[in-house]
């Protein structure tokens, strides 16, 4: 069992659909993150949660709505997305206090918006 698990691994949705991505970590970490990786672009931080509280929103459009019910689970709710939102969405976790900046990533959810 991997430390950070993401479901679904692949998702195809229309622009009017509502769907959610799920992330679960089994590492006992208190911080969780959503990153986006678009084709030929660097990974971009979207949201940060620390002890279930959102501490960063990196100017993400409101059609992306995160939810963190507890320190082990993180969701990304998606609605009325655009084709340019098609990307690999990566969840990561980390202990709250970590000096080196190391993150533990899940395998990602590949999203295609038609």
Partner 1 sequence: DQQVKQNSPSLSVQEGRISILNCDYTNSMFDYFLWYKKYPAEGPTFLISISSIKDKNEDGRFTVFLNKSAKHLSLHIVPSQPGDSAVYFCAARYYGGSQGNLIFGKGTKLSVKP
Q: Pick the stretch among 13-21, 44-52, 67-75, 76-84 that binds partner 1 (CB under 8 A).
A: 44-52
Which residue among 1, 41, 59, 62 contacts partner 1 (CB under 8 A)?
41
**C-beta closer to partner 1: residue 43 or 80:** 43
CB of 33 to partner 1, least distance (A): 4
Q: How far apart are CA 36 and CA 32, in angstroms?
A: 14
Q: How far apart are CA 37 and CA 62, in angstroms?
A: 18
Which burial class, exposed, middle or buried, applies to 76 when counting CB atoms under 10 A from its CB (0-12, 13-18, 19+)?
A: buried
**Closest by CA position to 55, among listed 68, 38, 72:** 68
Instruction: Output the six-digit token pair for 40.
Output: 């030929």
Q: Which of residues 47-106 bind partner 1 (CB under 8 A)?
A: 48, 50, 55-56, 90, 92, 94, 97-106
Q: Residues in the site for partner 1, rule: CB under 8 A?
A: 4, 6, 31, 33, 40-45, 48, 50, 55-56, 90, 92, 94, 97-108
């Amino acid at each position: 069992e991997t430390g950070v698990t993401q479901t679904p691994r692949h998702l195809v949705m229309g622009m009017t659909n509502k769907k959610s991505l799920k992330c679960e970590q089994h590492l006992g970490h208190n911080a969780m993150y959503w990153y986006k990786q678009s084709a030929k672009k660097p990974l971009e931080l979207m949201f940060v949660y620390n002890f279930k509280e959102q501490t960063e929103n990196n100017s993400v459009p409101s059609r992306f709505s995160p939810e963190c019910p507890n320190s082990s689970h993180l969701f990304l709710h998606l609605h009325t997305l655009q084709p340019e939102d098609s990307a690999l969405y990566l969840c990561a976790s980390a202990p709250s206090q970590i000096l080196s900046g190391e993150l533990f990533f899940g395998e990602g959810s590949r999203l295609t918006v038609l």
